Structure 1
Amino acid sequence: MTTLEELFNRRWIVRDYDKELYYRVRDQLPKYQKFLQEKLDYPVIITPQLIKLEKIPGEAESWMGIQDFSSKLEYQFFCLILMFLEDLDAGQQFVLSELTEYLQVQFPKGSLKWENYTNRRLLIRTIKYCFQEQLMLRHDGAESDYLSDQTQDVLYENTGLSRYFVRRFSQPITDMNSLKDRSAIGDIELDEERGYLRRQRIYRKLVMEMAVYKTDQTDEDFIYIKNYRRILEHDFNELFQAQLHIHKNSAYIVLDEEASLGTTFPDRSNLSEVILLINRFIRDKVRNGQWQANDNDQINVSQLEFLNLVTECKQRYRANFTKKLRDLSSQDFFQSVTDLMQRFNMIRLDEVSRSVTIYPICGKIIGLYEDEDEEGERDDDTNEDE
Structure 2
Amino acid sequence: MVREREAVLRTYAMDKLGFRLVVHRYFARLEKIPARPEAYMGIPEFKLPMDYALFCCILAYLDRKAVEEQFLLSEVCDDLMATCPAEIGLDWVQYEHRKSLVRALTFAKSVGIIQPVEGDVEQFSFRPETEVLYDVTVVSRYFMRPYPKDLSEFATMRELLAASWIETEAGADVGADLGSDVEDVETVGQTGDNRESTAARRHRIYRELFLCPALYGSESSGSLDPDMVYLRNYRNRIQEDIEARTDFRLELYRNCAMLVLPERRMRYTTYPDAKGISDISLQFAAVARQALAAGELQMQP
Pairwise same-fold verdict (TM > 0.5): yes
Q: Which residue of 2 aligns with 1:97?
A: 74
Task: State which of 116, 130, 133 in structure 2 corresponds to 1:138.
Answer: 116
5 Å-filtered alignment, 1:1-386, equals: 24-107=1-84, 108=86, 111-186=89-164, 193=185, 194-216=197-219, 217-256=223-262, 268-270=270-272, 321-328=282-289
CA RMSD of aligned residues (A): 2.9
Cα distance change of structure 1 residues 44 and 110 upon mapping to structure 2, 3 Å threshold = closer
Conserved 8 A contact 1:82-1:163: no
- Measure how far apart 1:319 and its partner are: 7.9
Q: Gapped runs of 5+ residues in structure 2?
A: 171-183, 186-196, 294-301
Cα distance change of structure 1 residues 251 and 114 upon mapping to structure 2, 3 Å threshold = same
Which secondary structure does the structure 2 equivalent of 1:269 belong to? coil
- Measure how far apart 1:145 and its partner are: 2.6
Greater CA drift, 51-60 or 181-190 = 181-190
Q: How far apart, in 1, do the equivalents of 2:45 and 2:88 lie? A: 27
- Measure how far apart 1:147 and its partner are: 1.9
CA displacement 1:174-232 (0-9 Å, x = unmatched): 23222222233356665965112111110111111100011123311111111111111
Q: What is the one-letter code of the residue matched to 1:221? A: D
Conserved 8 A contact 2:50-2:88: no
Q: How far apart, in 2, do the equivalents of 1:170 and 1:228 lie? A: 32
Greater CA drift, 68-77 or 104-113 = 104-113
- Measure how far apart 1:329 and its partner are: 5.1
Q: How far apart, in 1, do the equivalents of 2:103 and 2:131 lie? A: 16
Greater CA drift, 126-135 or 217-226 = 217-226
Conserved 8 A contact 1:77-1:123: yes
Q: Which residue of 2 aligns with 1:21?
A: none
- Measure how far apart 1:330 and its partner are: 11
Q: What is the one-letter code of the residue matched to 2:243? A: N
CA displacement 1:51-80 (0-9 Å, x = unmatched): 211111122222211111121100011111
% identical equivalent positions = 26
Q: Gapped runs of 5+ residues in structure 1?
A: 1-23, 274-317, 333-386
Q: What is the one-letter code of the residue matched to 1:126? A: A
CA displacement 1:84-140 (0-9 Å, x = unmatched): 111111111111000111111113399211110111111111111111101111111
Cα distance change of structure 1 residues 237 and 184 upon mapping to structure 2, 3 Å threshold = same
TM-score (norm 1): 0.61
Conserved 8 A contact 1:86-1:160: no
Q: What is the one-letter code of the residue matched to 1:243? A: R
